[in-house]
Amino acid sequence: MADNAKVHPVGSGAYTINLENFSKRLKVFYDHWKEHKSNLWGSSDAIAIATPPPSEDLRYLKSSALDIWLLGYEFPETIIVFMHKQIHFLCSQKKANLIGTLKKAANEAVGADIVLHVKAKNGDGADLMDDILHAVRNQSKSGNAIVGHIAKEAPEGNFLETWADKLSGSSVQLTDVTNGFSELFAVKDSTEITCVKKAAYLTSSVLKNFVVPKLEKVIDEEKKISHSSLMDDTEKAILDPLKVKVKLKAENVDICYPPVFQSGGKFDLKPGASSNDDYLYYDSASVIICAIGSKYGSYCSNVARTYLIDATPTQSKAYETLLKAHEAAVEALKPGNQMSVVYHAAVAVIERDAPELLPHLTKSAGTGIGLEFRESGLNLNPKNDRQIKQGMIFNVSLGLHNVQAETTNEKTKQFSLLLADTVLVSEKGHEILTAPCSKAVKDVAYSFNEDEEDVPVVKVEAKTVEVVPTKATLRSDNQEMSKEELRRQHQAELARQKNEETARRLAGGGSGSGDGRGHSRDSNELVAYKNVNDVPYARELVIQVDQKNEAVLLPIYGSMVPFHVSTIKSVTSHQDNRTCTIRIFFNVPGMPFSNDNKLNSQGAIYLKEITFRSKDPRHSSEVVQHIKTLRRQVASRESERAERATLVTQEKLQVSNNKTKMMRLSDVWIRPAFGGRGRKLTGSLEAHFNGLRYSTSRADERVDIMYGNIKHAFFQPAEKEMITLLHFHLHNHIMVGNKKTKDVQFYVEVMDVVQTVGGSRRSALDPDEIEEEQRERDRKNRINMDFQNFVNKVNDHWSQPQFKGMDLEFDVPLRELGFHGVPYKASAFIIPTSTCLVELIETPFLVVSLSEIEIVNLERVGFGTKNFDMAIVFKDFKKDVLRIDSIPSTSLDAIKEWLDTTDLKYYESRLNLNWRPILKTIIDDPQKFIDDGGWEFLNMEASDSETEETEESDQGYEPSDAEPESESEDEDSDRESLVESDEDNQESDEDSEEEKGKTWEELEREASNADRENGAESDSEEERRRRKVKTFSKSRAPERSSFKGAPPSKKPKFR
């Protein structure tokens, strides 16, 4: 369903039409008709469109496209006749009720009145058709009216056949207006472009996240699967976007055509091709073609890729040539070019690089795409001289058909190649909407060469131009390499790259920044009164507080001496009997935590402390309270002033004046909250030309966030949390109230506070309880949708050319990759995004840019531990290492996989490291750090290799034949002293013999010996050995986690 159609189920279900879109598009239609009446619209006086009945088949009709484009829905069995002063609709009563709401909008937009003709349920509407044709003839000045229609659409059903007979039998002249509609639909508006972008994103995600992994798994496991089965599975993935982690509503998506899979020498590159029931063929020199098309809001997108298995030189050369030709065709999609230029650009590449392939090239480079999968009149063939315009969208599809290969196999001697992308023509050139699906040679060529008869091994080597570099699918001796081994190989390569990168950065002078502290005021800047005359007159010699001038006047030797309140360090009072003592301490040079170390007058005398006694305790307490309050206010103001002094000056917000199109999110809270003791208020978040503005009903509560200052933007809908939020992480600090911050968050609580009257526990089947839960779900969904709509609009605004360099887009945390940990003081759920690691619910917030991370060290990783810690080292070595503690060990593999996928180098250690001295050593002597191997000192596997012999003995553990004792004695001895012998690498049997009394183990040993003497020795040697290994592992586990910080013992490995 299109975006411009808003569905509001009421009772049995009701629909509304977006009046704004209807008015805008109706005016575009009439203006286009008027401007191009003679050349595109056949000089028609009226245009008649008849939409056929609904069909289960996938089909693309101009009449249906017009319905959706103009009204938001397809109106089956409906006749629309457009005239200059009237628009006639012939339809059922239900449709007429909906169309009746458009009368005012149509009149205001183009000055045309909507005339409704309601067809009886079982009638053919012939008399109503006569009325419409009569109105057409009356409107025509010449009397011979010209009616435009879509000639290629044959009438379906009795109703439309009757209409066709009426048209042909009347005195009106018919003309084909297909070209007019093709031109009208060719240039898309912003709403249509958004729909195509969403469809393209879904298409790319299905191919990248579902089809390619499925093909790799099928080939790697050598399974048999038919093309039609792959087609069915892929279609299900498109219709359920959540399967490929795409958050689009399933009711808004559909397939453009059944997905196409072809292999085994049988290829059809025509748009109407289908998948047959043959099995997928993936032997050496085979080719697999995949083509997928999906729709969002009835707008189409398409992508096609070709995958090569153990490619021959001919196939490699053909693919590389086709890839260059496809890229040349895409580059030619520029506003102002003729459509024929696109095909000629592809042909030029083929003629230059491989002229022998020219006869195999497809006769077209693609077509326009939108509401129709193939928009007529927008073919990218050598004969089309129509001009390319900004806003057009094309399916650029190029292929080579039935090329001869150098093999004799019937299924590989001929092959075909196909590449297709959905491309938007933009102001400066083009934008490939399906770009996430790589078509680079290294990503589509696979190698499964078999050097041995039984063990497939992949050759990973640097290839020449004649041979395609491959994306290797690796297998071990057990036919499949484990994920851990693949990670280890990738991490080894990352370690090499990371050490080289760190060496280059340190050689260039390192990185770092200052402490960010503001300038503190010295004593020479503190002035209470500029001259003596400004000092207020005092009738009594008592302590006074001048709030206005921020001064404290003290009676000293009969005179009132003023002191600026900032010079006072602290004030205390003590009451004893009837006297009250006030002690005032001042800031003087040399004292700890003194802010003044820049005194010019070396001979000056400073007052450190002064004491007063008073017989008026009430006055004394008031004075002390006033001084403390004034000190607090001035300190707060000075702190805010110092923070503001370090702020970077922001550009001025350009406020949008068009309130009807303003992007607004109402009734949201802000974090950090504004200061003050008044009641907190919600506010509105508005998106303007160059920034966002949040404001409440209070004039002083306003925050502006410039787009240029946004480093990361996040949208986190409420799922298991109580809030839906938008979070902005900034490049430079801003002030929110009196707080300086780099993180600003806007949120809404999705749950209402509910208090049960009476306090009793209600049943889960209680109707009130069920209704309350349903209300909560509806509220959460509504809030999430409001936020999603705001995010979509802002994302569309950020896609404009002036924001391209800022790389702005809302990122959604990937909840399935999240894990629990303690980044600060409390446990939180930490979630990765595509660019960051975040925790946005609890304060203080955690936002770590992945691009700023040097390495990650996983600490306290060992056998038997329930949790571990993560230390994140930043590229700026002057920043403190970020620690995330107490991560459950069950998340270890998932975190490793995530780190490896994001190309972050990680290490593992058994103990926590003290990172400050480590980083200081690196900064002090970077050359020594580089010479010593960089970060490889963290490589636990390298240190483990030194004790390989010991580990090997552990792995092949067998009872010793050197001791004359029985098996039970050996086993019990191991129980007593195994850990110590493992840690110290020495025999400790002698120590264990020192005893003062019989332990439970000794008593058990005696009982075991007694059983043995009685003949209970039926266990085989192999069973006793297996039981001993089991005992060994059990006795070891508790010792490893007995206390934190223990020296790492050698880990046993069992195979």
pLDDT, one tens digit per residue, over 689-748 is: 889 999 998 888 899 999 999 999 999 999 888 899 999 999 988 988 878 899 999 999
Q: What is the pLDDT of residue 260?
A: 94
Burial class for 545, CB neighbours closer than 10 Å (0-12, 13-18, 19+) = middle
Q: What average pLDDT does this structure show over 769-773?
A: 81
**Residues 868, 892: contact at Cβ < 8 Å?**
yes
How far apart CA 34 and CA 26 sit, in angstroms, is 12
pLDDT, one tens digit per residue, over 526-567 is: 777 877 777 888 778 888 888 888 899 898 888 888 888 888
pLDDT, one tens digit per residue, over 319-336 is: 999 999 999 999 999 999
Q: What average pLDDT does this structure show over 170-187?
A: 90
How far apart CA 260 and CA 211 sit, in angstroms, is 11
Q: If pLDDT is split at 50, 70 and 90, which confidence band does 279 have?
A: very high
The DSSP bridge partners found for residue 831 are 838
Q: What is the pLDDT of residue 142?
A: 65
Burial class for 391, CB neighbours closer than 10 Å (0-12, 13-18, 19+) = middle
pTM: 0.48
Q: What is the pLDDT of residue 14?
A: 60
Q: In 3D, which of 259, 201, 257, 255 has the Cα closest to residue 228?
A: 259
How far apart CA 325 and CA 348 sit, in angstroms, is 8
How far apart CA 244 and CA 209 sit, in angstroms, is 6
Written as six digits, the tokens of 1036 are 């070891």
pLDDT, one tens digit per residue, over 363-417 is: 999 999 999 999 888 999 999 999 999 999 999 999 999 998 888 888 888 999 9
Query: Cα 1049 vs. chain centroid, distance in angstroms?
Result: 41
**Residues 323, 283: contact at Cβ < 8 Å?**
no
